[in-house]
């Protein structure tokens, strides 16, 4: 099972950050050609991303966030990636299934597509966008742009965002996609990061977008099953495997009744636990 608990953005133009990222213990890195790169550095950043992908040697999976096709750089970004094999390409500010397909048609075979949901129009069209089909694999929440356009004042508990957090996860689950929560801008606020990671896990997100390596450990911990969850899952699996449980749709485990849907959930959680417990290995790119 591939985990995406921690997804770290870094500017593709920052050679030092790229070199450091090769050995980081995040689950994925995104070489950013969009927001993290100034307009006059776009060409340089694109060349650096191609060089980094060609050189390989990354422990995390590697994605690239391109510029939108409605910009002066988006088409050239996708052309430059043609023939290369990043694990995924991130398309920003997607607002329709047609926009998904316009990018998807330019991707190399085998490259997954992740998209940014970061405008009011996008959240109103979530079901249609999420159902656009392969190679779409993940929805990422872009909270900075969304909050600005909505004129929100999120606050530490993100109360005004909660309907949209839930909506994005529901769309992702409904269409078999990953759901990746938005970033915490305050890189030195460990309490806020921990709180948002716990909240994102509670809402059902698979992982968290990050903007600094010091955020990786908190995300990995929050989006990995806890010892209590693992123990409970093992108890359910053992109970259904015990004599007398065969063929039953519901059994008593401890002081509560559990059904086979809980057994399926227990198996998924244990698979996540096994994946999180496996030492990372270098990936081809």
- pLDDT means over runs of 10, the chain (285 residues): 94 93 96 94 96 94 97 97 94 97 96 97 97 96 91 88 96 98 93 96 97 96 94 92 80 86 91 82 49
* Nearest one of 14, 42, 31, 11 to 285, comparing CA atoms: 31
Question: CATH 3.20.20.60 occupies which residues in the chain?
Answer: 6-222
- In the chain, the DSSP E strands lie at 6-11, 28-32, 61-65, 88-91, 112-117, 136-141, 178-181, 207-210, 250-253, 256-259
pLDDT of residue 250: 85
**Helix (H, G, I), strand (E, B), or coil: what is residue 46?**
helix
pLDDT of residue 285: 47
Q: Give the alpha-carbon dihedral of 218, 265, 138, 10, to 10 degrees.
A: 20
Superfamily of domain 6-222: Phosphoenolpyruvate-binding domains (3.20.20.60)
pLDDT tens figures, 174-210: 999 999 999 999 889 999 999 999 999 999 999 999 9
Q: How many CB atoms lie within 10 A of CB 210?
A: 27
Q: How many CB atoms lie within 10 A of CB 28?
A: 27
The token pair that represents 44 in the structure block: 């340089």
Q: How far apart are CA 115 and CA 129, in angstroms?
A: 9
Q: CA angle, 173 as apex, 181 and 90 as ends, to 5°?
A: 50
Q: How many CB atoms lie within 10 A of CB 120?
A: 13
pLDDT of residue 247: 78
Query: How far is CA 112 from each of CA 100, 108, 130, 180, 194, rounded to the nearest angstrom?
Result: 12, 9, 14, 15, 29
Ligand-binding annotation for 65, yes or no, is yes
Q: Please give the model's pTM, rounded to 2 decimal places.
A: 0.91
Ligand-binding annotation for 189, yes or no, is no
Ligand-binding annotation for 145, yes or no, is yes
């Amino acid at each position: 099972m591939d985990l995406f608990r921690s997804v770290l953005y870094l500017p593709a133009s920052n050679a030092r950050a790229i070199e450091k990222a090769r050995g980081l213990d995040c689950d994925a890195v995104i070489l950013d050609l969009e927001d993290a790169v100034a307009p006059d550095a776009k060409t340089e950043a694109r060349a650096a991303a191609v060089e980094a992908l060609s050189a390989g040697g990354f422990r995390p999976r590697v994605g690239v966030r391109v510029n939108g096709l409605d910009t002066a750089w988006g088409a050239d970004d996708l052309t430059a990636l043609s023939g290369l094999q990043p694990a995924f390409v991130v398309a920003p500010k997607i607002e329709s299934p047609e926009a998904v397909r316009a990018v998807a048609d330019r991707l190399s075979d085998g490259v997954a597509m992740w998209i940014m949901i970061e405008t009011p129009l996008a959240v109103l069209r979530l079901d249609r966008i999420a159902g656009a089909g392969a190679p779409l694999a993940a929805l990422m929440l872009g909270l900075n742009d969304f909050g600005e356009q909505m004129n929100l004042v999120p606050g530490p508990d993100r109360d005004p965002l909660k309907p949209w957090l839930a909506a994005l996860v529901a769309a992702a689950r409904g269409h078999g996609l990953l759901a990746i929560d938005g970033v915490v801008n305050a890189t030195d606020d460990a309490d806020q990061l921990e709180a948002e990671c716990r909240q994102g896990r509670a809402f059902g997100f698979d992982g968290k977008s990050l903007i600094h390596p010091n955020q990786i450990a908190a995300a990995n911990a929050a989006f990995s099953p806890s010892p209590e969850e693992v123990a409970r899952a093992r108890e359910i699996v053992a109970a259904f495997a015990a004599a007398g449980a065969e063929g039953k749709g519901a059994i008593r485990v401890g002081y509560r009744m559990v059904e086979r849907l809980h057994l399926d959930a227990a198996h998924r959680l244990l698979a996540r636990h096994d994946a999180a417990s496996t030492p990372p290995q270098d990936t081809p790119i």
